[in-house]
Amino acid sequence: MASLVSTDEISVFTGDFMNLFDTFKRTFTVHKAPKRIIAQINTDFLYGYGEAANQANYTYETVSQDFEGMVLYKDYQESDELGGVSEIRYFARESRIKVDQAAADYIKNGKTEKIVIDGKNFQLMTEESVKYFFGVKLYVFHLQFTT
C-alpha cells in the first residue's frame, strides 16, 4: 500500500516525538487501594477462649509506584454565556497526564485511589484515551484536583 510518508521519515518523526516526551516528562506517584495484610489468625475465640471483640489481626500496606509522563495543568476553562456576560473563566483545577504503556496498565489495573503530582492529590476523571503516532502509543488520563 502506498504511503505519503516514507519509513525513514516515520523513523525521524517517531524519534522526535519520543524525544519530546522524554524532554518534558516528570515523575508522579500512583497510589492504589491498600493491601490488607493478615498478621496472625487467632482461632481461640472460636472455641470460647479469648475475646471476640478484639480481633484486629491485620494491617494495611500502602501500594504505590512512581512513573514518568507529561503533565499538563489546565488553568482556566471557557464556559457558556451567562446573563449577558460573554466571557467567564474559572479555575477548573484539572490536569492531564500522558503516559506510556506500563504506566497506563498500572493505572487501569485495580482501583487507583489518587495520583500525586507536585505534592497535590488528583483523582481519575476519565478512562484513558490512546494517542497513536506512527506506531507509538501514549495514553492520556484526565485528572481532577482533590483535597
Cell of 5: 510518508
| Spatial separation of the C-alpha atoms in residues 121 and 99, rounded to whole Å | 18
| Spatial separation of the C-alpha atoms in residues 136 and 17, rounded to whole Å | 9
Distance of CA 28 to the CA centre of its chain: 9
- The predicted pLDDT at position 58 comes to 77
| Spatial separation of the C-alpha atoms in residues 54 and 45, rounded to whole Å | 10
In tens, the pLDDT along 22-59 reads 899 999 999 999 988 877 666 666 665 555 555 567 78
In tens, the pLDDT along 113-136 reads 999 999 999 999 989 999 888 888
| Spatial separation of the C-alpha atoms in residues 126 and 29, rounded to whole Å | 18
Cell of 20: 519530546
Whether the model pTM is above 0.75? no
Asked if residues 21 and 15 have their Cβ atoms less than 8 Å apart, the reply is no
